[in-house]
Amino acid sequence: MKTLKIASIPGDGVGREIMPEAIRVLEKVADVHGGLKFDFEEFPYSCDYYLKHGAMMPEDGMDRLSQFDSVFLGAVGDASKVPDHISLWGLLLKIRQEFQQEINIRPAKLLQGINSKLANPQDFDIVVVRENSEGEYSSIGGRIFHDDNEIAIQNNVFSKRATKQAMNIAFDLASKRKGLVTSATKSNGIFHAMPFWDEIFEEISAKHPNIKSESKHIDALAAYFITHPHELDVVVGSNLFGDILSDVGAAIMGSIGVAPSANLNLNGKYPSMFEPVHGSAPDIVGKGIANPIGQIWTAKMLLEFNGEANIAEHLLKVIEEVTADGYQTADLGGKYKMTEVTDEIIKRLGK
């Protein structure tokens, strides 16, 4: 019997509602397939935790999380309680950076039967490979001068090492898919970082003559997700651009409530972390209408990257069947509650 030790962090808002749903699904799918067991431990790290303890996690928080195979996260942040830059840099971004989860994988594909927000979308199937450790998400910078003369400076830091790594992973992925890598750039406006990004992209492209490659500026590319999503395959972007494009990808699927993501540690030193793309959505808390698909599809990625590709595929197939048959929450125009969607998935997982 293989046991996966999972640290679950429900976090804030709807994170706390959807986490139990995804755990129900994981327990069930393990049960159905046999040979796999989950050992979950829940950590209350969140904005409420901050209000009580003055920190998003205790001193030994990272140590404790490092003992697990993976971290499974709901959603973090509630600006009505704690400023976002405090809550995120104290938890989500801290884990991504300290656990060296340098790659974030975010698929966006047309799910059968889901009402995409696009008019007549052709079948699209995109994976966004996001550099996850540096770039625009840096804590270097500060402020100077007073009153109306005040300025803030923010330093973006791009390393060749991490940039190459993200691009190599994108080309690797594309070689197993449709064979196209699109780079999100903005070298026409962002003077130093993006020409650097483009040079590295050209270098890596040249090493993969069998994979087609192209560069698009982030503004045009975000528009292209809306006008021509079926023309894309693998998209590689910086930390910020990957963030934006994956939300746009989620929206064209129909709702940011459905999109999953995997924060991958590649050097084996620390756990990877799995979390849906959406936020904590404080406005819909307590209504039972949160879409559980994002967290459940994220559970599928947790299985996949823990060596359980078959079980993962089975789960995705069931998710698609259930959505295709109309079991959808209000954000997708459906009439079902969060738990009803989950129940249907669990029912169809079999046994």
Ligand X SMILES: CC(C)[C@H](C(=O)O)[C@@H](O)C(=O)O
Q: Of the ranges 11-19, 46-54, 125-133, 155-163, which one interacts with a second copy (CB under 8 A)?
A: 155-163
The correct pick among 8, 46, 70, 87 for binding a second copy (CB under 8 A) is 87
Smaller CB separation from a second copy, 37 or 85: 85
Residues 6+ apart with CB under 8 A from 78: 12, 13, 47, 87, 280, 282
Smaller CB separation from a second copy, 38 or 201: 201
Query: CB count, 10 Å around CB of 330?
Result: 18
Query: CB count, 10 Å around CB of 210?
Result: 8
Quick one: which H or E segment has residue 103?
Answer: strand 103-109
**350 near a second copy (CB under 8 A):** no
How many angstroms separate the CA atoms of 151 and 166, rounded?
33
Smaller CB separation from ligand X, 78 or 344: 78
The correct pick among 66, 97, 138, 168 for binding a second copy (CB under 8 A) is 138
Q: Of the ranges 16-24, 28-36, 62-70, 118-126, which one interacts with a second copy (CB under 8 A)?
A: 118-126
The correct pick among 32, 62, 173, 190 for binding a second copy (CB under 8 A) is 190
Enumerate residues 211-230 that contact a second copy by CB under 8 A.
215, 217-220, 222-224, 226-227
Q: Of the ranges 43-51, 124-132, 156-164, 206-214, which one interacts with a second copy (CB under 8 A)?
A: 156-164
Closest CA to 296 of 281, 279, 274: 274
**83 near a second copy (CB under 8 A):** yes
Q: Give, in order, the Cα–Cα distances in Å from 222 to each of 156, 163, 179, 242, 250.
A: 21, 20, 20, 10, 12
Contact predicate 241/184, CB 8 Å: yes
**Which three-class secondary structure state does DSSP give residue 262?**
strand
Smaller CB separation from ligand X, 242 or 334: 242
Smaller CB separation from ligand X, 247 or 308: 247
**What is the DSSP secondary structure assignment for residue 135, as one 8-state letter?**
B
Residues near ligand X (CB under 6 A): 77, 88, 92-93, 188-189, 219, 243, 277
